[in-house]
Amino acid sequence: MAKKKEPEKKKVNTSGVMGLVGSTVEQPISQTLELNYMPYAMSVIVSRAIPEIDGFKPSHRKLLYTMYDMGLLNKPRTKSANIVGQTMKLNPHGDAAIYETMVRLARSNETLLHPFVDSKGNFGKVYSRDMAYAASRYTEARLEPICAELFRDIDSDTVDMVDNYDATMKEPALLPTTFPNVLVSANQGIAVGMASNICSFNLKEVCETTIALMKNPDHDVLETMPGPDFSTGGELLYDEAQVREIYRTGRGSFKLRAKWRYLKEGNLIEVYEIPYSTSTEVIMDKVADLIKQGKLKEISDMRDETDLGGLKLTIDLKRGVDPDKLMAKLMRMTPLQDSFPCNFNILIAGMPRLLGVKEILEEWIAWRTECVRRRIYFQIGKKSDRLHLLQGLAKILLDIDKAVSIIRHTELESEVVPNLMIGFGIDEIQANYVAEIKLRNINREYILKQTRAIEDLIREIEDLQATLKNNRRLQKVIIDELNQVVKKYGQSRKTEILYNAAEEEEAEEAEEQIPETPVHLFVSKQGYLKKITPQSLRMSGEQKFKEGDSLDFTLETTSRAELLVFTDKFQCYKTRLSEFDDGKASTLGDYLPTKLAMEQGETVVKVVPAGDYTGTLLFFFENGKAARVPLSAYETKLNRKKLTGAYSDKSPLKTILVMNEDANVAVYSTDGRCVVFSTALLAPKTTRNTQGVNVLTLKKKAVLDFAALLADSNIKNESRYRAKTIPAAGAILKPEEAPQQQIAMEL
């Protein structure tokens, strides 16, 4: 039998300790980790690096509570060094760490959307790596007005008060914030084996979302809270799928972009807002490196002109440089576009948990509800105590002279209270209260004034008890407080949301890599596509097609051109010609259903060159209806994408016409009739799958056959078929004006 492997042991050197010179003590490594490392790791996780449901780490909470205890919510500013010294009674980690915490919470540092410290002096800037803050002896601070929402009713037993590190003082375990500060204040912390990085959200949006969730637990958070909001502004490149994933899992990253403006007078660009996750120095260094490498020849100079007016990076352009193209290039190559990684790790009841946005708000609602319950219990207790005293006083009112007589005729002071208790049937607390009344107040008027509050107190206590028993009333209390916070402190978003920017960025990046060369496009009726270069076309013979197939249209264009491929499954596939290899006239070309990975049995109905998306598409359906949809409805800025619901599925599609301006069209029915009308009679629809309007009045068993531009039809006497209004039945076709077998679309 194999010998069991002994656990690895660690030799602990105890040289020079208590006479054990040169001796060692063997200890298993697992025991060393358990006894020495694990307590440290848990301390960092639970008591230092990870924020709790109130949105604060212990260092923040200790600093703010100290300032509150110093009366700095209402008093003038005091020296920061004084605050740091007082905070050391709660936070033993040193003055430097405490002051750094204050700097981050300060208004002038611009780290938080809603700062908690009203600062005076140099507190540095979050967007600058090298702009150092002044020493604590040179700066002053007090609490911002919004801190009243952090400490509201803290003296009403809303949160637990615990001992500080040496048990000489009490401090709150959490702050009873009246709004979900955990999502409003940005927070970052690195613990042991885990980290937390919470982005900030707009206070107004967070409060409104919380209210909506309390009213409807199935509320879609994304509707009222579309994305984060950062104190440095900038632009958020919105990707709904990505945002939903972050909201659901608590992990992911948001793409942020700087804001800039072009000044034509000086031929320069000013960058005035940058992503929260970078700094001006990092951007300047990266641009300088790219200029040295010869990758940014469009820039003649770049400088940091940040001053008291705010951030400003100035870029001087060389003559003839397109500012839009340059900034697109800089966004790709420098931290002017950066990502903010999210990791919503939060301590819930002392345990670290990775939560989504909705889960965080649900946890906050549950926690805040408990805070309100505790406050109401405290208020009931206070009012009950007051009621108890007044009820004792009311009994004295029945015979004031008797009370005076008892006190006068009691020889020993210690017997006054017991004698009052016996004389009026009151308890010791009530008797003590009566005994302490001043002599001048032992009159009927004073006692009546005091006892009039009894009925009010009884009503208030009953109302508070009813609130405790009714969850809706509890929720209303929280909702009213949230509405007050929004009214007092709500502000507009600083970070602008760009809803199509992520797609545009992908398209721009892809387009930059595609060389723009002239090509000839050939598309057959059965869905074969050939892309032929001018040189190859000159050397080619006749175009080859599959048996039974023929040319639908040909077009001179470039390799960057986009195509819209409509299918019989009411779908549209977008693609670029760059996706296709150069072909020859002697080949059949690429079969679009295969090339575009269409569904089984799906066939091509029409291929439409997208151009610059300024034209119009006319869809003609078997039921006699026609729909006019602008090409811009199919613009998505992506190289290749499948669009469902590309047109109406209520009736089979017969014809698609492409037009750049209004024209006359001829519409044919299967019973040999034709109607001619102007497309100006068709109003454009914004939705792609619109059913359209009736253009052809059909006889029994007849359907719309097809449609064509009047110029491409065989109509000679258009007045015979002309309709001034639609729908129209049209006229019977003359034999000589019957449609040709095939009408090709030339573009």
By annotation, the residues acting in catalysis are: 138
- Quote the distance between the C-alpha of residue 567 and its chain's center: 37
> Which residues have C-beta within 8 Å of that of residue 224, sequence separation ≥ 6?
205, 208, 209, 212
Instruction: Please give the Cα distance from 681 to 677 (Å, whole number).
Output: 8
Instruction: Please give the Cα distance from 612 to 44 (Å, whole number).
Output: 58
Instruction: Name the one residue in this structure whose structure tokens are 């072009």.
Output: 262
Report whether 283 contacts 327 (CB < 8 A).
no
Backbone angles phi, psi at 547, to 5 degrees: -60, 130
The per-type count for the chain, helices as H runs and strands as E runs, is 23, 35
> Which residues have C-beta within 8 Å of that of residue 53, sequence separation ≥ 6?
174, 182, 346, 347, 348, 363, 364, 367
Instruction: Please give the Cα distance from 204 to 702 (Å, whole number).
Output: 60
Q: What is the DSSP letter of 256?
A: E
Q: What is the DSSP letter of 414?
A: G
Query: Within 13 Å and on the Cβ side, how many CA atoms surround 246?
Result: 23
> Which residues have C-beta within 8 Å of that of residue 440, sequence separation ≥ 6?
none
Q: Which two tokens stand for residue 63?
A: 């600093």
Cα dihedral 69, 72, 78, 79 in deg (nearest 10):
60
Q: Which two tokens stand for residue 374?
A: 């505790």
Question: Which one, of 619, 627, 646, 620, lies nearest residue 703 by Cα?
Answer: 620
Strands 251-257 and 337-343, how do they pair? Answer: antiparallel
Instruction: Please give the Cα distance from 620 to 706 (Å, whole number).
Output: 7
- Quote the distance between the C-alpha of residue 49 and its chain's center: 24
Please tell me whether residue 292 adopts helix, strand or coil conformation: helix
Residue by residue, DSSP assigns 5-50 as: PPPPEEEEE-TTSTT-TT-EEEEEHHHHIIIIIHHHHHHHIIIIIS
Cα dihedral 266, 272, 275, 278 in deg (nearest 10):
80
Cα dihedral 306, 310, 315, 320 in deg (nearest 10):
-150
Report whether 571 contacts 564 (CB < 8 A).
no
Q: Which two tokens stand for residue 545?
A: 């097609």
Question: Which one, of 140, 165, 162, 159, lies nearest residue 70 by Cα?
Answer: 140
Enumerate the β-bridge partners of residue 236.
256, 497
Q: Which two tokens stand for residue 110?
A: 């611009």
Instruction: Please give the Cα distance from 68 to 150 (Å, whole number).
Output: 10
- Give the largest CA-CA distance in the chain: 136
Instruction: Please give the Cα distance from 440 to 193 (Å, whole number).
Output: 70
Instruction: Please give the Cα distance from 337 to 155 (Å, whole number).
Output: 46
Q: Which two tokens stand for residue 389?
A: 């005293």
